[in-house]
Amino acid sequence: MARQKRIQSVFLNIPYDGQFEELYLAYVVGLAQLGLKINTTFAIPNQGRLDEIVQLIQQSDVSIHDLSRIELSSGIPRFNMPLELGLALYHSHITKGRHRIFVFERKVYRTQQSTSDLNGLDPQIHHGTPKGVMAGLRNIFYQADGTTVPEMLSSYRAVKRKLPALRRNAGSRSLFEASIFKDLTVAVLIEKERVIAARG
């Protein structure tokens, strides 16, 4: 039997807004703690953005699609997350499932109501909490090093304390920019090394 390819990179499809920052940080910390490369779209200029999104999906072993914030915003539904999910589903189809897809939601059964065509995909329910996000990540990306949810949460709290300095260094209040993402990734990797050393 052929060995299953080790997952190395993840396309992360989430809403980029201030109300989602804590869960965004949980995704970044959790995925990095699990040793996974994160591919995101927020650093892509709007011109040609769709082509870049398709390329990022194609470069990723799996994709995560958080559908917890597709409700109306200023009277308008948010279609970016479902659109990118559709692109990933098509890529998975033409690659005969080699690109794997995982859906995260805040509430149980809401996906069946909002996107009933996904009834074959069981979403990870995070209940809108960082711990829920991390439990879902560990559930689907269990790696040999045995990273635990308490370790992820410890790193999450440590990195969160560094956010004011990271924002100052990047000259931005938003976490959803390329420069602060790079600094954030470095901070997370430093915490990962601390966690590994603490295992003794």
The C-alpha atoms of residue 40 and residue 180 are separated, in whole angstroms, by 13
Q: Give the dihedral sign, CA 183/187/190/196.
A: negative
**What's residue 64's pLDDT?**
96
In tens, the pLDDT along 31-90 reads 999 989 999 887 665 555 788 889 999 999 999 999 887 765 565 566 778 889 989 999
Q: 137: buried, middle or exposed (CB in 10 Å: 19+, 13-18, 0-12)?
A: buried
**What's residue 15's pLDDT?**
87
Nearest CA among 75, 83, 69 for reference residue 14: 69
**What's residue 71's pLDDT?**
62
Calculate mean pLDDT across residues 96-109. 88
Please give the domain boundaries of the chain with CATH numbers for all domains: 9-146 (3.40.50.10140)
In tens, the pLDDT along 119-156 reads 567 889 999 999 999 999 999 987 666 789 999 999 99
